[in-house]
Chains A and B, each alone.
Chain A
């Protein structure tokens, strides 16, 4: 257990539905990342928060995706109008702003879009 939690762990939804995932980082970490991982591939960066500010978004993050970190603590990732191609593991990581910026990953949320 790294101290980063994600909920739910699994989500099955029908195409066209909206889904929301939550990430609770390590409490003193001000940096939070979302990644997406498909089968057989390494994780791909989606977006980055420093405190409550979303400072970088990947081109992978289409306009159907939105992420928030309202008080600089937990974060949510919402996918609207899900498509089958959104099926993946969604990983959250956090790090402090000091030192080597080691990222601590949560267990992920596995999304299946039917």
Chain B
């Protein structure tokens, strides 16, 4: 699985968009970009994933560059409850029974949403 690089920390004002970058320059063609977040003292929570196209769900948007070497997670209107560590993970999603599909976490980005 490809490695990812994220800034260790970011600040964002409440109500503003939070844009969290991730570099994954060694990503291969069949690998997806996943984002999870971990609020203090809780288990990680799935946010969104994508392969090539931009994706949006009720939590966030994911913008993947055309060369797929980097991506940005966007929280459109950050709230205090979005303060968490955000993990960008690159992983193949294989559809045969033997695939483990384990997650390999880095140290993530600590997003601090300020009032």
Residues of A at the B interface (CB closer than 8 Å) are 2, 4, 31, 33, 35, 40-45, 48, 50, 55-56, 91, 93, 95, 97, 100-108
How distant is the Cα of A25 from the Cα of B107 in the complex, in angstroms? 25
Which residues of B does A touch, CB under 8 Å? Answer: 32, 42-46, 49, 85, 87, 93, 97-98, 100-108
Q: Nearest chain B CB to A94's CB is how many angstroms away?
A: 11
Contact A48 B44 (CB under 8 A): no
Q: A-B pairs with CB below 8 Å: how many?
A: 56
**Contact between B102 and A43 (Cβ–Cβ < 8 Å)?**
no
Q: Which A residues lie within 8 Å of B97 (CB)? A: 50, 97
Q: How far is the CB of A87 from chain B (nearest CB, A)?
A: 15
**Cβ of B104 and Cβ of A41 under 8 Å apart?**
no
- The CB with the most chain B CB atoms within 10 A, among A35, A42, A93, A108, is that of A42
Say yes or no: B46 contacts A102, CB within 8 Å: yes
Q: Please, which residue of chain B has its CB at the minimum distance from the CB of A45?
A: B102
Known: A45-B102, A45-B103, A48-B102; 5 extra A-B contacts, CB below 8 A, are A33-B102, A42-B87, A42-B108, A91-B43, A105-B44
